[in-house]
A and B are shown apart, each in its own frame.
Chain A
Amino acid sequence: MKRKNKPENNNKNKTSRREFLKKGLLAGAGTVLGGGVVGSFNAFAESGDTIKVLGPDGKVMSVDKSHLKEIGARTEKQMQKEGRDGIPGRKWVKVIDLSKCKNARMCMAACQNAHQLRPDQHHVNVLRMDRGGETAPFFMPKPCQHCDDPPCTKVCPVDATFKRQDGLVLIDNERCIGCRFCIAACPYSARIFNWTEPKDAEKYEDVEYNVELNVPQKKGTVSKCLFSADLLRIDKMPYCVTACPNGVYWFGDENENAVTNGTTKETVNFKKLLKDNAAYVLMPELGTEPRVYYLPEKDRMFPFVYEGSTELKKDKH
C-alpha cells in the first residue's frame, strides 16, 4: 500500500542536512541552523568550555558546549513513513534453537526493558511446553511469528498493524483504536494490550513516538514484538537475540541466506541450518506462514527441574 507523502521536497532537504551533520559534525548554534535543532537554548547555563564546529557555510566556529544539543533523531512523521515501508531488500528471519533454551529469560528482560513493558507484559514469552506422556517438558521462547500471511493485519479496521516489505509485522499505536480484533485473530497469543497507563508513562511523555520501537507505549492500544525494527535499521540484531546467554537465537536475512547467532556471533547458512536440524514452524496447518523457525527440542533436561522442583504444576491447557 502506498502512503501519501506530501512534503517530499521538504523532507529531502531535511534529510540531506541531517546527513551532513551526522557525518562526524556536531550541530551548532540555533540561530544558524533554525528549526533543525530541538530544544531551547535559554535553558542551558554557559559552561565556559568551547568546542569547534563546522557551520553550514563551511566556516569553523567555536561555540559554548552548553549550547550544543544532539540533533533530535528523525521526526515522528519520517519515522512513521520509514517504519511502514520497511528496509528495502531485506527479509528478516529468526531461528530459535529449542535444544539450547534453559529458561534464562534474559531475552524477556531485555525486550521489556527496551519496549517500556512491565514484567507481566511479554513481546517474547518463554513458555514451558509439556507435550505429556514420557517426554520431558522443554522451554520455548515465543515472539511474534511475523507471519507472511498474518491473520492480525487482515482484520485491523484502520491499518494500524501492517506487514512491511522486509517481512516484519508492526503496530502503529498512534493509529490503533483499541478494538483488539488482532488479539482475537492471532493464534500465537503474541499480542498484548495496554489495559492501563503503561509503565513509567510520565517519563516517556515527551518522547517522540517511534513506530519501529513502539515506544512510548500508549494506554488503550495494542503492542507486540517488532523484531526490534529500530535496531535492524542501524544494522544491529534484536534486543532478545543479543541478550541470550545460551545461543538460542539465530537472526538474519533470508535474502542473504545467512543467520547469525546472537551469543556466539557465528554466521551460518540459513537454509542448511533449517535442513540439517529438521526445523519446523508453529502450527503450520493454520496457513499463517511464520518467519520464526524452531530447531527441535532435543537434549531435553532429564529429570526436568523447574523452580527447584521436578514436579510440574499441571496447566489447565
Chain B
Amino acid sequence: MSEGKNNVSKKTLNTIVSDLTRPIKNHYGFTPWILFLTGIILLGLFAYIIQLKNGLGVTAMRDYVSWGLYISSFIFFIATALIGMLISAVLGLIGIKWITPISRIAEMIALGFAMWAGLIIIFDMGRPDRILNIFMHGRLQSPIVWDITVVNTYVVISILLFLLPLIPDIPFLKKTMKDQPTWKQKIYNLLSFGFVGRPEQYALIKRLIRITAILIVPVALAIHTVTSWLFASTLRVGWDSTIFGPYYVTGAFVTGGAAVVIAMFVFSRDFRLKNYITDFHFDKMGRLMVLLMLVYLYFNINEFLVPGYKMKLAEKPHLYELFQGDFALMFWLVQIGGLVLPVILLLFKKMRKPVPSLVIAVAVIIGAFFKRYIITIPTLLHPHLPIQNVPEEFSTYWPTPIEWSITMMAVAGALLIITILAKLFPVIPIWETAYEEGITTEEMNEFVKKEND
C-alpha cells in the first residue's frame, strides 16, 4: 500500500505547510466562483419570497403529489451529508490510513449538506412562521420530531468532528497567515482553544476525536434511517417497505462517495494538491465506490424484484409505471446509468484514474438525485383511491421554475459553505499529513516556534 505513495516520497514540513496553506492565500478564480454561487442563492431567495407571499401554490405540488422536489432534495442532501461519518469516523476508527488527505473534505461536504438539508425542510413548510410549534407542541410519536432531533444532533457532532482535528493545524495557520486580514487571524486565535502543541494537548485532542468519531456513527445511521421512516411509516404503495432504512443508508454512502470523488478532483486540480490527493487515492475511492454501489444494488434488487415478482394488486400500477410507464426512462437511466454501469466501469483500473473517476462520479450523483425523485413522486401519483373531480394538474407533477430555483439555491448554499471552509482552513490536515511523513510533534512545535521568532 505504501509503495503507492512513492511518487510523493518524503516531504519536509516546510513544503507541507506551504503547499497546504497556499490555497488559502491564493484567490485565483475565487471571486467569480463566489459571485456565481451568490447569484444562484439570490435567485433562489427571490423565488422563496414569491413562495412565501403566494403560498406553496407556486410549486407544482397539489393535494395528491403533496411532497415534491423539496422533499426529494432533502433526502439527497441528508444522503450526501452521511459520507462524513463513513470516511472520517468508520474508516478512521478501523485505522485506514489513505483517508488522511480526504477526511476533512468529507467532513466539509457533510457540514455543508447537512446544514442546508435542515433549511430545505423549512422551504417545504406551508407555515414556516410556525416553526416554533415543533418545540412548543412537539409530539414524540412523529417521525418528523425524530428527524429534526437527529439532524440537528448530526450537524453539531459534524461541527465537532470538523473542528477537533483542525485545532492542531491552527498554530501553523497562525504563523503562515500573518499577512492575512485581522478577522481571519481572530478566527484562528479563537479556534486554537489555547492549543500550543504540548504532548498532553495532543493526547486530549486525539481522545476527543476518537469519542466524537464513535458518537457520530449511530447518529448518522439514525438521520438517514429516520428520514427513510418518513416514508416507510406510511401506508403508501412503494413506501410501505421494511428495508427502507438500510436501503436509504447504503444509497447515501454511494451519493456521498461520489460527492467526495468530485471534491477530490476539484481540490487536487484547483488547489494544486496533486501531490497529496494522488491517483492512489482515486484508485482507493474507486474501489470503495464499487463496494458501496454493490451493496446498494443489492438493496435495489430486493426493493424492486420481490414486489415485482408478486405484483400485488395495489402495487401493480406503481411498479408498471416505474418499469415501463411514465417514469420508466428515468428509472432505468438511474438504475443502469447511475448504478450498474458505474460499478462495471470502476472494476477496471484505468477507470479509477482521476478524470474517468470524475465522469463516473458525476453520473452517479446525478443518478442519485433523480433516484430520490423516483422514490418520492410516483408513489404519490398512485394513491389507493382514484384521483377524481380535481383539475388535470393534480394528477401530474413536474417541478416549477420556483421549485428548481429554491433547490438550486440549496445546492449553491452547500457549495458556498464548502468553499468558505476551504478558503479559511487547509482542506488537508497539516499535522496528520506531517505525522504520516514521519515528522514528530516535537519537530512540528519547533517549526512553529522558529517561524515565530
* A-to-B contact residues, CB < 8 Å: 108, 120-122, 125-129, 142, 151, 154-160, 175-181, 183-185, 187-189, 191-197, 219-222, 282-283, 286, 288, 315-317
Contact = CB atoms under 8 A, between A and B. Distances in A.
A108 B388 CA distance: 13
17 contacts: A121-B63, A127-B385, A155-B233, A158-B136, A160-B137, A177-B127, A178-B56, A184-B66, A184-B67, A184-B236, A188-B384, A189-B63, A193-B56, A193-B63, A195-B59, A197-B54, A315-B386
Leading 6 A-B pairs by shortest Cβ distance: A178-B126, A220-B126, A196-B57, A195-B57, A157-B144, A157-B142
A185 B391 CA distance: 22
A286 B234 CA distance: 10
A5 to B, nearest CB: 15
A283 B126 CA distance: 30
A315 B388 contact: yes
Nearest to B385: A189
B389 A175 contact: no
B143 interface: yes
Contact of B127 (A125, A191, A196, A221): A221
Q: Is the interface of B mostly helix, strand, loop or mixed?
A: loop
Contacts of B130: 158, 175-178
Given A189-B385, A283-B384, A183 B134 contact: no
A47 to B, nearest CB: 43
A282 B383 CA distance: 13
A197 B127 contact: no
Contacts of A286: 235
B395 interface: yes
B350 interface: no
A195 B137 contact: no
Contacts of B144: 155, 157, 179, 181
A157 B145 contact: yes
Contact of A193 (B66, B235, B382): B66
A185 to B, nearest CB: 5
Given A108-B389, A156-B139, A158-B139, 13 more contacts: A127-B385, A128-B388, A151-B235, A157-B134, A159-B139, A176-B130, A180-B67, A184-B67, A184-B234, A188-B384, A193-B63, A220-B126, A222-B126
Contacts of B57: 195-196
Size class of the B contact interface (CB-based, 8 Å): 35 or more
Given A194-B55, A317-B382, A125 B395 contact: no
A122 B387 CA distance: 11
Contacts of B145: 157
Contacts of B107: none
A179 B71 CA distance: 10
Contacts of A283: 384
A117 B426 CA distance: 58
Interface string B124-150: 111110110110111101111100100
A258 to B, nearest CB: 29
B113 to A, nearest CB: 21
Given A122-B389, A194-B126, A315-B388, A183 B66 contact: yes
A132 B61 CA distance: 30
A111 B317 CA distance: 32
A122 to B, nearest CB: 6
Contacts of A151: 234-235
B62 interface: yes
Contact of B126 (A157, A158, A159, A177): A177
A20 to B, nearest CB: 35
Contacts of A180: 66-67, 126
A158 B56 contact: no
Given A175-B137, A180-B67, A286-B235, A220 B127 contact: yes
B384 A187 contact: yes
Contacts of A126: 389
A192 B142 contact: no
Nearest to A119: B389
Contacts of A222: 126
B233 A120 contact: no
B327 interface: no
Given A180-B126, A181-B142, A221-B127, A127 B388 contact: yes
A179 B56 CA distance: 11
Nearest to B148: A157
B64 interface: yes
B141 to A, nearest CB: 5
B390 interface: yes
A195 B55 CA distance: 6
Interface string B46-70: 0000000011110101111011000
Interface string B364-389: 00000000000000001011111111
B138 A220 contact: no
Contacts of B385: 127, 142, 188-189, 282
A159 B131 CA distance: 13
A175 B236 contact: no
A190 B142 CA distance: 20
Given A159-B139, A178-B125, A219 B55 contact: yes
A154 B57 CA distance: 26
B362 interface: no
Contacts of A156: 139, 142
Given A180-B126, A184-B66, A220 B389 contact: no
Given A184-B236, A189-B64, A129 B55 contact: no
Contacts of B133: 158, 160, 175, 177
B230 interface: yes
Given A120-B391, A175-B137, A154 B142 contact: yes
Contacts of B54: 196-197
A264 B431 CA distance: 86
Contacts of B64: 189
B19 to A, nearest CB: 48
- Which residue of B126, B144, B317, B383 has the most chain A CB atoms within 10 A of its CB atom? B126
Contacts of A127: 385-386, 388-389
Nearest to A130: B386
A33 B155 CA distance: 57
Contacts of A197: 54-55
A160 B382 CA distance: 26
Contacts of A108: 389
A142 B383 CA distance: 14
B55 A220 contact: yes
Contacts of A181: 142-144, 230
- Which one of B62, B137, B383 has the highest number of Cβ atoms from chain A below 10 Å of its Cβ? B137
A148 B130 CA distance: 28
A221 B390 CA distance: 19
Contacts of B391: 120
A159 B126 CA distance: 16
Given A175-B130, A176-B126, A155 B143 contact: yes
